[in-house]
């Protein structure tokens, strides 16, 4: 099994879904960042992820990284939520964001904002002002979830 699959297995055992795993550099520090969402839906929306859940996953993953380091050199493990407003870059991330508001920019520069209704194969369906809009994933150049105040 790969390192990411092992981390995903630990997350699922806690009722969490892996949203993203990335290596980033911030302020001269290398961070191995594991972003998770709750696997539980309440009233059609994802439940929030608690600090305790993130800390528990971090404690499970840390020994694994001691045995199978994700990269050479020093780094810091960070486990947390990707946030309410976040980048959506993969089909899996779109699927995990169903029921949330999403802003899309297509390669043609067209823009859409609306509720993400479903993801089927490579088609993304949004409710834009009461009208269903279907977009091919390959045509999306940028996407983010957003919160309407």
Contact in structure between 133 and 117 (CB atoms under 8 Å):
no
From the list 149, 119, 148, the residue with the least C-alpha distance to 136 is 119
Q: Please tell me the predicted confidence (pLDDT) of residue 127.
A: 96
pTM for this model (two decimals):
0.89
Q: How far apart are CA 2 and CA 4, in angstroms?
A: 5
State the Cα–Cα distance between residues 98 and 90, nearest whole angstrom: 13
Quote the pLDDT of residue 134: 96
Element (H, E) at 66: helix 51-67
Q: In the chain, where are the structural domains located? A: 3-80, 91-145
pLDDT of residue 149: 83
The H or E element spanning position 93 is: helix 91-96
Identify whether the C-beta of residue 135 lies closer than 8 Å to the C-beta of residue 111: no
- Domain 91-145 class, CATH top level: mainly beta
pLDDT of residue 41: 84
Structure tokens at 18: 């892996």
DSSP label of 49: P
Cα–Cα distance for residue pair 23/4, rounded to 1 Å: 12
What is 3-80's CATH topology?
A: GMP Synthetase; Chain A, domain 3 (3.30.300)
pLDDT per residue rounded down to tens, the chain (149 residues) = 599 999 999 999 999 999 999 999 999 999 999 999 999 888 778 889 999 999 999 999 999 999 999 989 999 999 999 999 999 999 999 999 999 999 999 999 999 999 999 999 999 999 999 999 999 999 999 999 999 88
């Amino acid at each position: 099994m790969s390192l990411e699959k092992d981390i995903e297995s630990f997350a699922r055992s806690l009722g969490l879904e892996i949203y993203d795993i990335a290596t980033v550099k911030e302020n001269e520090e290398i961070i191995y960042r594991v972003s998770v969402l709750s696997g539980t839906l309440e009233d059609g929306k994802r439940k929030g992820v608690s600090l305790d859940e993130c800390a528990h996953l971090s404690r499970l993953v840390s020994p694994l990284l001691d045995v199978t380091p994700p990269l050479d050199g020093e780094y810091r493990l960070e486990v947390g939520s990707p946030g309410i407003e976040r980048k959506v870059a993969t089909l899996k991330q779109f699927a995990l964001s169903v029921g949330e508001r999403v802003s899309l920019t297509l390669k043609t520069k067209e823009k859409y904002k609306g509720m993400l209704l479903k993801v089927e194969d490579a088609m993304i369906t949004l409710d834009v002002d009461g009208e269903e809009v279907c977009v091919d994933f390959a045509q999306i150049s940028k996407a983010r979830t957003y919160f309407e105040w």
